[in-house]
C-alpha cells in the first residue's frame, strides 16, 4: 500500500512538473498592476515600426503593457494557437482566407456596429464582407497593399522605354528589353507564392465580374475563367532569366535592386526591402497592364493588415484602446510611411512618389481585391502555378486548380 | 506488468522463509526499478501516446483545426484519402526517396566505417569529422545547403562555364529530390557510420588471420567474414535509415517547401501543411493514422526479413 502511494506521489510529481512549464506566461493577467495585452501580427517587416508605436502608446497609458508577437509563418502559428484555445488579445492578419476561417470559427469579437469602423474607407469594409460572405465585420482594416509592376527607371531611360498602358504594349516592351540583352523580369519561382501577385492582377481583370457571385452559389469557374490569366502567366515566364526556377524572393529583391532586371512583378510591400538592398535605386511602379483595355484595368489592392479583437480577451477595453490609438491619424500615417503601404483609413494619403501612378487609380476607385483571397486554403494555386512556369502546360494547370477546388469544397 | 507477476510467482514457489526475505529485498529493488522507468513512460504517454490517440479520434470528425464544433463523419476522411491524388503523389515520392536513401546511406556508411576502422593516420580526427553532421540541427543544415544550391554552385558553374551547374537543382522539378537526397544522406550517414564502426569492432581478429592463412583475399574476407558478423548492425541500420527517410520533413521545409509544384511533398510535410495551414486537420489526421500503420508495417517487415537473413548466415 505504502509503495503504491509513493509510486503515485512520484508520478504526480513528475506530471505537475510538466504542467508547470505549460502555464504561467500565457495567462496575460495583471502583474504589478499592469494589464498585459498580447498583440499578435503577421507583418514581420513592420516590427520596428510597431515597436516605436507601442513605446509611444505605453507612455500615454502607463498601466497597459503591450507585448508584440510576430513569429515566422504566423498564419499557421495563429491556427495552432486557436486550436489549443490560446488566443492573443489582438490579432492582426490580412483580409484573406485565414481571416475568413477564423471569423467563422468565432475567434473574433463582432465589430460591425462599432464606431471604430467609421474611419475606414467603405471599399475595404466591403472586401471583408465579400471574403466571409457575411454582413458582420470582425476586424478593422488598417493598411492596404497593392500589386503593380515595379520598374527600374534608370534602365527604362537608358533604353528609351515608356510605361506600357496595355497588355500588347507590355509584351512588346518585354521583347525590346530582351533584344537589348537585358532581363525584362526577375522571376523568383523558387518561392511559389511569388507567382501569385501577377496571377492576381491578371485573374482579377479577366475572370469576369460575376465570378464571386457564381462562387457564392457554389459554382467554381476556375477552369474557364482563369484561362486567360494562366495563358498570360506563361507569356510572362518567357521573359525571365536563366535561373528563374531556382531563385527565391529575398534573392530576387536584391537582384532587382542591383539592376539585374528592368522590371519586377511584386506587390508594393517589396519596395522597402529593395531600397534596403540598394538605397540609390530609382524605381517606380506602374499599374499592371493586364488587358488591352486601359480604361477598365483595375489595381489589385487588398486589406493587408486588420486589427481583430479576440472574443475571449480578458481585457477587451485595454485592447480596444490600443486599436483606437493605432487608428489615430498621426500613428496611421507613420505606419504607411515607414512600410510604404496604402492606408485603409479615410484621409490618410501615401505621398511616396514611387507609387504615384497607383495612388491615382486607387483614389479613383479603380480597385479590386486579390482573387486568391477567395480561393480556399487547401487549393494551393501557387504550387500549380509554379509547375506551370516550368512546364508551360496551360490545360493541365487549369484542370488541377479546378479539381483541387472542387475536392476541397466537397470535403467541407 | 505480466512479466513482473511472473517473477513474483516464481519466488512464491521457492521455500517459504527464504522467499519472504528475498521478496522483501526484491520489492525494494523493484521499487527503484519502477522509479527509473515510470517517469519516462509517463512522459511518453503524455506527449506521444495521448496526442496519437487524439489524432485517431479527430480522424473520424470533420474538424478544421480551429472551429469550436465539429461532427463525426465516420470513415469519410479515409475514403477521401484513397481518392486524393495529392496524397497518392506524396506516398510515391516518399517511397522513392526512402528506398534510394536507405540503400545509399547504408552503402556509404559501411564503406566509410571500414575506412575509419582501419589503422589510418589521424583516425580519431576523421571519426570526429564524420560524426559532426549528426550533432547539427537538420533545419540549419537544410538552410545552409539551400544557400549552397541557390548561390554557390550556380556561381561556380558560371565562373567555370559548366553548363549543368548553373541552374539551381532545387528549382528543377525533375532534380529537386536529388538535392534533398544529398543533404539527407550527408547528415544521416554520421549516425550509421558510428553503428557500423561499433559493429566492425566486434569482428574477431583471429577470423581474418585464419582466413588469410587459407588464402582468402580481401574481397572474400569482407563477404564471408565481416558482413555476416555485422549482420545485426546491418539490420538495425537498414531499418533506422528507412524509417528516417520515410519521415523526411525538416530538409523539405528548409529547401523546397514541397516544390517545385508538389514534386517534393513528403507525407509528413503534406500532413503538416494540409492539416494546419490548409485547414484540413481531420482529413490529415486520417492520413497520419494510415501513415503510422504503413511505417510500422514496413519496419516490422524489414526486421523479420533481415533477422531471418542473419540466422541463415
Nearest CA in chain A to B78: A411
Q: Chain A to chain B, count of Cβ pairs less than 8 Å apart?
A: 127
Contact A245 B167 (CB under 8 A): yes
End-to-end CA distance of chain A: 53
Overall average pLDDT of the B160-177 stretch = 88
Contact indicator for A110, A135 with CB cutoff of 8 Å: no
Omega before residue B260 within 30° of 0, cis: yes
Q: Does position B218 have pLDDT exceeding 90, yes or no?
A: no
The pLDDT of residue A211: 86
- What SS3 class is residue B2? helix
Contact A386 B277 (CB under 8 A): no
Q: Quick one: B286 exposed, middle or buried, by C-beta within 10 A (0-12, 13-18, 19+)?
A: buried
Cα of B94 to nearest chain A Cα, Å: 18
pLDDT-based confidence at A21, cuts 50/70/90? very low
Contact B42 A107 (CB under 8 A): no
Contacts of B283 in chain A (CB under 8 A): 411
B46 at interface of A, judged by CB pairs closer than 8 A = yes
Q: Are strands A35-41 and A64-69 parallel, antiparallel or unpaired?
A: parallel
In whole angstroms, what is the distance from residue B164 CA to residue B209 CA? 49
Percent with pLDDT over 90 in chain A: 53
pLDDT tens readout for residues B241-292: 999 999 999 999 999 988 798 999 999 999 998 888 888 889 999 999 999 9
In whole angstroms, what is the distance from residue B309 CA to residue B313 CA? 6
A37, β-bridge pairs: A66
Is the pTM above the cut of 0.90? no
Q: Does position A27 have pLDDT exceeding 60, yes or no?
A: no
- Alpha helices by DSSP H, listed for A91-195, are 97-104, 122-132, 153-158, 167-179
Contact indicator for B239, A364 with CB cutoff of 8 Å: no
Biggest CA–CA distance in chain A, Å, is 93
Contacts of A94 in chain B (CB under 8 A): none
In whole angstroms, what is the distance from residue B212 CA to residue A78 CA? 67
Smallest Cβ–Cβ distance between B166 and the set A14, A75, A242 belongs to: A242
Contact indicator for B145, B183 with CB cutoff of 8 Å: yes
The set of cell numbers assigned to A170 is 507590355
Smallest Cβ–Cβ distance between A411 and the set B39, B80, B167 belongs to: B80
In whole angstroms, what is the distance from residue A119 CA to residue A116 CA? 6
Contact indicator for A284, A357 with CB cutoff of 8 Å: yes
The pLDDT of residue A256: 95
DSSP 8-state secondary structure symbol assigned to residue B224: I
End-to-end CA distance of chain B: 36
Overall average pLDDT of the A237-264 stretch = 93
| Among the ranges given (A14-23, A341-350, B67-76), the one the predictor scored with the smallest mean pLDDT | A14-23
Closest CA to A372 of A248, A207, A259: A207
Q: Does position B58 have pLDDT exceeding 50, yes or no?
A: yes
The pLDDT of residue A75: 85
In whole angstroms, what is the distance from residue A312 CA to residue A107 CA? 8
Q: Does position A162 have pLDDT exceeding 50, yes or no?
A: yes
Helices A74-83 and A97-104, axial angle in degrees (round to 10): 10
Smallest Cβ–Cβ distance between B166 and the set A101, A189, A243 belongs to: A243
Q: Does position A5 have pLDDT exceeding 60, yes or no?
A: no
Cα of A294 to nearest chain B Cα, Å: 33
B residues 61-100 closer than 8 Å to A (CB): 62, 64-68, 80, 84, 86
pLDDT-based confidence at A296, cuts 50/70/90? confident
pLDDT tens readout for residues A35-44: 999 999 998 8
The pLDDT of residue A7: 47
Nearest CA in chain B to A85: B66
Contacts of B163 in chain A (CB under 8 A): none
pLDDT-based confidence at A330, cuts 50/70/90? very high
Mean pLDDT score across all residues of chain A: 87
Smallest Cβ–Cβ distance between B68 and the set A105, A404, A407 belongs to: A105
The pLDDT of residue A105: 87
Contact indicator for B97, B258 with CB cutoff of 8 Å: no
| Among the ranges given (A2-16, A126-140, A225-239, A327-341), the one the predictor scored with the smallest mean pLDDT | A2-16
Contact A378 B280 (CB under 8 A): yes
The set of cell numbers assigned to A77 is 502559428
Smallest Cβ–Cβ distance between A79 and the set B27, B43, B66 belongs to: B66
Contact B39 A79 (CB under 8 A): no
Domain boundaries, chain B: 2-58, 76-312
Closest CA to A143 of A302, A284, A369, A320: A302
Contact A11 B260 (CB under 8 A): no
| Among the ranges given (A156-170, B133-147, B215-229), the one the predictor scored with the smallest mean pLDDT | B215-229
- B-interface mutation test, from A22, A240, A250, A380, most B Cβ less than 10 A away: A380
Contact indicator for B81, B284 with CB cutoff of 8 Å: no
DSSP 8-state secondary structure symbol assigned to residue A110: P
Q: Are strands A283-287 and A140-152 parallel, antiparallel or unpaired?
A: antiparallel
Q: What is the DSSP string of A375-404?
A: S-TTS-HHHHHHHHHHH--HHHHHHHHHHH
Please give the class, per CATH, of domain B76-312: mainly alpha
Q: Does position A25 have pLDDT exceeding 50, yes or no?
A: no
Contact B42 A407 (CB under 8 A): no
Q: Which residues of A209-239 are buried (b: 16+ CB within 10 A; e: fewer)?
A: eebbeebeeeebbbbebbbbbbbbbbebbeb
B residues 221-260 closer than 8 Å to A (CB): 256-260
pLDDT top residue among A34 and A201: A201
In whole angstroms, what is the distance from residue B239 CA to residue A235 CA? 48
Smallest Cβ–Cβ distance between B262 and the set A83, A245, A383 belongs to: A383
Contacts of B169 in chain A (CB under 8 A): 246
Nearest CA in chain B to A242: B167
Cα of A323 to nearest chain B Cα, Å: 24
Mean pLDDT score across all residues of chain B: 87
Q: Does position B4 have pLDDT exceeding 50, yes or no?
A: no
Q: What is the DSSP string of B174-212?
A: TTHHHHHHHHHHHHHHHHHHHHHHHHHTTS-HHHHHHHH
B61: Cβ–Cβ under 8 A, 6 or more apart, which residues?
Answer: B70, B71, B72, B73, B282
Q: Does position A400 have pLDDT exceeding 80, yes or no?
A: yes
- What SS3 class is residue B305? helix
The pLDDT of residue A16: 42
Contact B260 A390 (CB under 8 A): yes
The pLDDT of residue A333: 93
> How would you write B83-132 as a 3-class SS string?
HCHHHHHHHHHHHHHHHHHHHHHHHHHHHHHHHHHCCCCCHHHHHHHHHH
For A231, half-sphere exposure in the C-beta direction (CA atoms, 13 angstrom radius) is 11
Domains of chain A: 32-145+302-368 (3.40.190.10), 147-300+374-411 (3.40.190.10)
Cα of A363 to nearest chain B Cα, Å: 34
Percent with pLDDT over 70 in chain A: 92
pLDDT-based confidence at B16, cuts 50/70/90? low
- B-interface mutation test, from A5, A78, A245, most B Cβ less than 10 A away: A245
Q: Which residues of A164-199 are buried (b: 16+ CB within 10 A; e: fewer)?
A: bbebeebbebbeebbeeebbbbbbbbbbbbbbbbbb
Cα of A20 to nearest chain B Cα, Å: 14
Please report the beta strands in A154-310, taking only residues with DSSP state E, as ranges in sequence order. Answer: 263-267, 283-287, 299-309
B313 at interface of A, judged by CB pairs closer than 8 A = no
pLDDT tens readout for residues A126-146: 889 988 888 899 999 999 989
Overall average pLDDT of the B153-157 stretch = 90
Owner of C-alpha cell 523539405? B252
- A-interface mutation test, from B275, B277, B281, most A Cβ less than 10 A away: B277
- B-interface mutation test, from A76, A190, A409, most B Cβ less than 10 A away: A190
Contacts of B170 in chain A (CB under 8 A): 190, 246
Overall average pLDDT of the B44-73 stretch = 89
Smallest Cβ–Cβ distance between A189 and the set B38, B86, B171 belongs to: B171
In whole angstroms, what is the distance from residue A293 CA to residue A364 CA? 17
pLDDT top residue among A158 and A80: A158
Amino acid at each position: 500500500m505504502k509503495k503504491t502511494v509513493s509510486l503515485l506521489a512520484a508520478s504526480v510529481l513528475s506530471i505537475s512538473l510538466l504542467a508547470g512549464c505549460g502555464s504561467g506566461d500565457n495567462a496575460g493577467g495583471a502583474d504589478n498592476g499592469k494589464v498585459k495585452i498580447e498583440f499578435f501580427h503577421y507583418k514581420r517587416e513592420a516590427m520596428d515600426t510597431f515597436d516605436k508605436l507601442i513605446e509611444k502608446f505605453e507612455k500615454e497609458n502607463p498601466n497597459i503593457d503591450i507585448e508584440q508577437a510576430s513569429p515566422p509563418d504566423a498564419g499557421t502559428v495563429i491556427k495552432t494557437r486557436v486550436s489549443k484555445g490560446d488566443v492573443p488579445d489582438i490579432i492582426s492578419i490580412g483580409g484573406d482566407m485565414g481571416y475568413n476561417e477564423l471569423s467563422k470559427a468565432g475567434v473574433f469579437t463582432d465589430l460591425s456596429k462599432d464606431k471604430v469602423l467609421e474611419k475606414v474607407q467603405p471599399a475595404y469594409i466591403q472586401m471583408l464582407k465579400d471574403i466571409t460572405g457575411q454582413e458582420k465585420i470582425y476586424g478593422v482594416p488598417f493598411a492596404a497593399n497593392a500589386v503593380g509592376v515595379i520598374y527600374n527607371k534608370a534602365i527604362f531611360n537608358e533604353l528609351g522605354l515608356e510605361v506600357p498602358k496595355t497588355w500588347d504594349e507590355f509584351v512588346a516592351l518585354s521583347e525590346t528589353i530582351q533584344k537589348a540583352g537585358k532581363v525584362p523580369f526577375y522571376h523568383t519561382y523558387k518561392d511559389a507564392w511569388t507567382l501569385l501577385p501577377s496571377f492576381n492582377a491578371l485573374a482579377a481583370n479577366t475572370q469576369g465580374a460575376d465570378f464571386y457571385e457564381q462562387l457564392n452559389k457554389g459554382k467554381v469557374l476556375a477552369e474557364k475563367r482563369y484561362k486567360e490569366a494562366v495563358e498570360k502567366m506563361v507569356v510572362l515566364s518567357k521573359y525571365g532569366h536563366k535561373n528563374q526556377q531556382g531563385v527565391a524572393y529575398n534573392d530576387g529583391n536584391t537582384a532587382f535592386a542591383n539592376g539585374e532586371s528592368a522590371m519586377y512583378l511584386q506587390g508594393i510591400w517589396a519596395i522597402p526591402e529593395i531600397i534596403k538592398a540598394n538605397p540609390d535605386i530609382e524605381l517606380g511602379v506602374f499599374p499592371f497592364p493586364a488587358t488591352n483595355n486601359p480604361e477598365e484595368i483595375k489595381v489589385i489592392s487588398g486589406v493587408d493588415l486588420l486589427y481583430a479583437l479576440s472574443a475571449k480577451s480578458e481585457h477587451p477595453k485595454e485592447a480596444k484602446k490600443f486599436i483606437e490609438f493605432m487608428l489615430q491619424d498621426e500613428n496611421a500615417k507613420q505606419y504607411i510611411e515607414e512600410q510604404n503601404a496604402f492606408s485603409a483609413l479615410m484621409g490618410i494619403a501615401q505621398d511616396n512618389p514611387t507609387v504615384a501612378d497607383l495612388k491615382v487609380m486607387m483614389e479613383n476607385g479603380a480597385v479590386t481585391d486579390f482573387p486568391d483571397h477567395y480561393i480556399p486554403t487547401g487549393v494551393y494555386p501557387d504550387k500549380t502555378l509554379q509547375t506551370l512556369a516550368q512546364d508551360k502546360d496551360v490545360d493541365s494547370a487549369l484542370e488541377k486548380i479546378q479539381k483541387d477546388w472542387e475536392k476541397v469544397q466537397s470535403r467541407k | 506488468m505480466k512479466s513482473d507477476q511472473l517473477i513474483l510467482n516464481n519466488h512464491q514457489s521457492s521455500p517459504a522463509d527464504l522467499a519472504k526475505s528475498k521478496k522483501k529485498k526484491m520489492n525494494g529493488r523493484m521499487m527503484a526499478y519502477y522509479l527509473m522507468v515510470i517517469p519516462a513512460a509517463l512522459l511518453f504517454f503524455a506527449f506521444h501516446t495521448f496526442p496519437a490517440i487524439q489524432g485517431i479520434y479527430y480522424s473520424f470528425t470533420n474538424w478544421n483545426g480551429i472551429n469550436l464544433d465539429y461532427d463525426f463523419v465516420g470513415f469519410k476522411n479515409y475514403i477521401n484519402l484513397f481518392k486524393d491524388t495529392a496524397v497518392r503523389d506524396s506516398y510515391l515520392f516518399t517511397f522513392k526517396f526512402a528506398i534510394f536513401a536507405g540503400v545509399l546511406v547504408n552503402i556509404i556508411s559501411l564503406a566509410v566505417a571500414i575506412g575509419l576502422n582501419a589503422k589510418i593516420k589521424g583516425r580519431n580526427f576523421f571519426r570526429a569529422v564524420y560524426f559532426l553532421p549528426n550533432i547539427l540541427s537538420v533545419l540549419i543544415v537544410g538552410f545552409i545547403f539551400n544557400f549552397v544550391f541557390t548561390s554557390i554552385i550556380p556561381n561556380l558553374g558560371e565562373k567555370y562555364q559548366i553548363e549543368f551547374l548553373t541552374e539551381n537543382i532545387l528549382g528543377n522539378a525533375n532534380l529537386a529530390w536529388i538535392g534533398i537526397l544529398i543533404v539527407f544522406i550527408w547528415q544521416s550517414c554520421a549516425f550509421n557510420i558510428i553503428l557500423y564502426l561499433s559493429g566492425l569492432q566486434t569482428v574477431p581478429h583471429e577470423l581474418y588471420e585464419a582466413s588469410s592463412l587459407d588464402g582468402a583475399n580481401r574481397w572474400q574476407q569482407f563477404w564471408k567474414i565481416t558482413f555476416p558478423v555485422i549482420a545485426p548492425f546491418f539490420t538495425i541500420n537498414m531499418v533506422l535509415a528507412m524509417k528516417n527517410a520515410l519521415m523526411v520533413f525538416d530538409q523539405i521545409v528548409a529547401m523546397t517547401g514541397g516544390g517545385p509544384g508538389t514534386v517534393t511533398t513528403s507525407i509528413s510535410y503534406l500532413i503538416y501543411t494540409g492539416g494546419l495551414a490548409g485547414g484540413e486537420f481531420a482529413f490529415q489526421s486520417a492520413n497520419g493514422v494510415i501513415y503510422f500503420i504503413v511505417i510500422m508495417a514496413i519496419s516490422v517487415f524489414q526486421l523479420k526479413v533481415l533477422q531471418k537473413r542473419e540466422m541463415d548466415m
